[in-house]
Chains A and B, each alone.
Chain A
Amino acid sequence: MSNFGTISFKNTDYRIVLPFYVYAAISFLVVTVLMFFSIDAFKGHYFHPHILSITHLMALGWGTMIILGASHQLVPVLIEAPLFSKKLAAISFILAAVGIPMLVYGFYLFQLIWPAEYGACLIVLAVLAFLINIGSSISKSKNENIHALFVFSATGWLFLTVSSGLLFLHNLTNPFLPSDSLRYLPLHAHAGIIGWFLLLVIGVGSRLIPLFLISKYHNTRLLWWIYGLINSALIIFVVLFLYDADKPWFLLPILLISVAVLSFAHFCYQSYAQRIRKQVDNPMRLSLLSVGLLVLPMIFLIVIVIFLIIGASKMNSLVLSYGFLVFFGWITAIILAMTFKTLPFIVWNKAYHKLAGLYKTPNPKDLFDSAVFRWMVISYLCGFVLFVIGVLTSKGWILQSGALLLLATAVFYNWNVFKIVMHKPRLV
């Protein structure tokens, strides 16, 4: 135990992180309200103003905003170095917070130049600020690690996603690309879904899941393989797409992604099996379920490509279901879970750090209502299943019931998020 090296540390200020969480919670509520009142849109083509609006609010307002917020807190944990700049974090929040409603409102009314394109410009700048912040933080870190590489690469793909989105949006009103924007939609969507969300969730999850389970399992080699598989699959997909390759070729990137997803599932299972902490709380259970939910969109994607190969028509409901399974399936499940593994701790730290050890304080998990959390999970799972069935069968009443349950999920989620954020210190 000799040769101690002392060190000081500084966590990211909660004032940087909390606005992202609150913004995401409100976005989720707005999305579910929009869905409830846009049921007919889910019976038609996916390139519908309301579907575009809902998808972008889900992807950006909900998924991306909460991940940006959590990343400002978690990246220092991953890279073992402080966040490079608070100002850049604040700038990226303000730009995204203004840009997202402009884009979503623009899509909803199909007013694509003002406000949609201007909103998209702000979002690109927000992501650029985040990319610089994360890149600079990682470059200042003394430790190289695979998790940081996942996060940085994911942010790079996010930048490509939003930049390409801006180009395709501009191409809708002022055509300058060889084809119409609808043709490029798979590129834009998969750079975001696979490049941003999947890479990031695996990069952060592979650090946090063993940490929360107190698991002895480590497998950096497997994580490198997963990283290589996902990035190779994306690059192969882009090349195949741009060179208009025959449809069967598209099974190759899907195969690589499937191997990566199954490898990550194996990683999570091993972490679970080799855990020291036997009791697994409800947010962790939902996190592990979200990993299982990753498999569903993969199956749908394989079916879609097979249908494309055999030249089947009328695939709208399959494509819509695929998108729904991605955004309302594993992405929403992991956010619903991880919010309650991160936000209570951030607020607890703010409220109780001066009292630690001296008085009996509530535990972080006491900052939210566990019964409301359970109802949230039940309504989410029921609403999720019903809505998928509704999209596949185009039955209005099933869609409406699913949307209502998802709206209830958002209400329960917001209830607990605001309960945590507005928590006032008290002793027990």
Chain B
Amino acid sequence: MNIITNNELKSTIASTALYNVIDPEIGLNVVDLGLIYQLDFKENEKAVYCKMTLTTQFCPMGASIKEGVENVLQDTFKEDAIQVELTFDPAWNMDMISEEGRHFLGR
């Protein structure tokens, strides 16, 4: 699934960092799992805005995954304010898993 962004270069940097955030149950990173919907970079406000989802609402690992995304973005964009929002519209489904993710899960 493609991530919506207003800055392709920064989005690639952020996505690369977000490969380190793993869903502990599935063992797959949040990017290949398709949990990241949007990454926007507000240059004037020096802020990074991330809109993401979870595989299921009230996912027991949800707090850790969201915190992992915040931690990684803050570590990557040290000077910027990080805002991570959860959404369930649209709800996550298995078609959002990337080809690499499917390959990983199908091993």
Chain A residues near B (Cβ < 8 Å): 1, 3-9, 11, 73-74, 76-77, 79-82, 211-212, 214, 216, 276-279, 342, 345-346, 348-349, 352-358, 363-364
Q: Does B102 contact A (CB under 8 A)?
A: yes
B64 touching A349 by the CB < 8 A rule?
A: yes
B89 touching A345 by the CB < 8 A rule?
A: no
B58 touching A11 by the CB < 8 A rule?
A: yes
Known A-B contacts A1-B90, A3-B89; the reply to A211 vs B55 at CB < 8 A is yes
A82 touching B58 by the CB < 8 A rule?
A: yes
A77 touching B60 by the CB < 8 A rule?
A: yes
Query: Which of B4, B24, B85 gathers most chain A CB within 10 Å?
Result: B24
A357 touching B20 by the CB < 8 A rule?
A: yes
Known A-B contacts A1-B4, A348-B24; the reply to A9 vs B58 at CB < 8 A is yes
Neighbouring A residues of B18 by C-beta, 8 Å: 357
- CB B2 to nearest CB in A, in angstroms, measures 9
Neighbouring B residues of A3 by C-beta, 8 Å: 89
13 contacts between A and B (CB under 8 A): A1-B38, A7-B86, A8-B86, A9-B62, A9-B86, A11-B58, A77-B59, A216-B94, A348-B61, A353-B64, A356-B71, A357-B69, A364-B24
In this complex, how many residues of chain B approach chain A with their Cβ under 8 Å: the count is: 40
Neighbouring A residues of B57 by C-beta, 8 Å: 7, 9, 77, 80
Residues 39-89 (chain B) with a chain A CB within 8 angstroms: 51, 55-65, 67-69, 71-72, 75, 85-89
Query: Which of B61, B106, B107 gathers most chain A CB within 10 Å?
Result: B61
B59 touching A353 by the CB < 8 A rule?
A: no
Count of A-B residue pairs with CB < 8 Å:
108
The residue that A276 contacts in the complex, of B25, B27, B87, B94, with Cβ under 8 A, is: B94
Neighbouring B residues of A211 by C-beta, 8 Å: 55-56
Known A-B contacts A279-B107, A358-B75; the reply to A212 vs B64 at CB < 8 A is no
Q: How far is the CA of A11 from the CA of B67 in the complex (A)?
A: 14
The residue that A4 contacts in the complex, of B27, B62, B87, with Cβ under 8 A, is: B87
Q: Does B21 contact A (CB under 8 A)?
A: yes
A73 touching B67 by the CB < 8 A rule?
A: no
Neighbouring A residues of B20 by C-beta, 8 Å: 357
Neighbouring B residues of A345 by C-beta, 8 Å: 24-25, 60-61
Neighbouring A residues of B13 by C-beta, 8 Å: none
Query: Which of B27, B37, B64, B94 gathers most chain A CB within 10 Å?
Result: B64
Q: Does B9 contact A (CB under 8 A)?
A: no
Neighbouring A residues of B75 by C-beta, 8 Å: 357-358
Neighbouring A residues of B51 by C-beta, 8 Å: 4, 6
B85 touching A6 by the CB < 8 A rule?
A: yes
Q: How far is the CA of A271 from the CA of B88 in the complex (A)?
A: 23
Q: How far is the CA of A358 from the CA of B76 in the complex (A)?
A: 10
A1 touching B37 by the CB < 8 A rule?
A: yes
The residue that A214 contacts in the complex, of B38, B90, B94, B107, with Cβ under 8 A, is: B94
The residue that A349 contacts in the complex, of B61, B69, B85, B102, with Cβ under 8 A, is: B61
A348 touching B64 by the CB < 8 A rule?
A: yes
Neighbouring B residues of A279 by C-beta, 8 Å: 107
Q: How far is the CA of A380 from the CA of B4 in the complex (A)?
A: 51
B86 touching A6 by the CB < 8 A rule?
A: yes
B60 touching A349 by the CB < 8 A rule?
A: yes
Q: How far is the CA of A342 from the CA of B60 in the complex (A)?
A: 9
| Leading 5 A-B pairs by shortest Cβ distance | A356-B68, A357-B68, A5-B89, A353-B64, A357-B72
Q: How far is the CA of A354 from the CA of B90 in the complex (A)?
A: 27
Q: How far is the CA of A276 from the CA of B94 in the complex (A)?
A: 8
Q: How far is the CA of A358 from the CA of B18 in the complex (A)?
A: 10
Given A348-B24, A349-B61, A354-B71; 7 other pairs, CB 8 A cutoff: A4-B38, A76-B58, A77-B57, A214-B26, A216-B94, A356-B68, A357-B68
